[in-house]
Chains A and B, each alone.
Chain A
């Protein structure tokens, strides 16, 4: 069964450093998403991406964040200058259709720890 994969599973970085989180969405999916979940809190929407453009973003997704689809299979989230409060699980998701409310399938997550 196709699934979303994410690397690395755990990333430890120093405050102020740049990190890139990587995702491989399900192959025939067209919409891609990033979410984060701070320990003990809700899963929060960050950004959606379709046709090589950002479709929607939340207020969390400020100038320190960027997303990219560098090739036909990968989807990345870059955090330019990490802060302590960026420590969280980051989930990538993808959905097949380019219509609203199609089911989103989530990856296993990357645990980001900022020291």
Chain B
């Protein structure tokens, strides 16, 4: 059974304090790993897709990396507007996108 575990569940940072969010996964035939951002009461907003181990993607203060067992979302010098829940999801041979519980990030000014 495909499974995604994200850690930590919650993370509080000071503005400018860099950190990383972890996504560990088990999947039958990884076809893609996705990162989304979700604001309260809203739908997931697409950030990155990673397809193979060693791949990296960057967007503004965010950088996503992928290994055979986990993915990291690195946040460099975060700002208060980066506060949100970050979701990791995997797509494998089941043909279903499976989400983790998410990491809720709070960035204080």
Contact = CB atoms under 8 A, between A and B. Distances in A.
30 contacts: A4-B43, A41-B101, A42-B100, A43-B44, A43-B99, A45-B97, A45-B98, A48-B95, A48-B96, A55-B95, A56-B94, A56-B95, A56-B96, A91-B44, A100-B31, A100-B91, A100-B95, A101-B31, A101-B49, A101-B51, A103-B49, A104-B46, A105-B46, A106-B45, A106-B46, A107-B43, A108-B42, A108-B43, A109-B43, A111-B41
Contacts of B46: 103-106
Residue of B32, B36, B87, B96 contacting most chain A CB atoms (<10 Å): B96
Interface of B: 31-32, 34, 36, 41-46, 49, 51, 87, 89, 91, 94-102
The bracket for how many chain A residues form the interface is 20 to 34
A18 interface: no
Contacts of A91: 43-44
Q: Which 3 A-B pairs have the closest CB atoms?
A: A101-B32, A101-B31, A106-B43
Interface of A: 4, 33, 35, 41-45, 48, 55-56, 58, 89, 91, 100-101, 103-109, 111
B104 to A, nearest CB: 11
Contacts of A100: 31-32, 91, 95
A39 B76 CA distance: 30
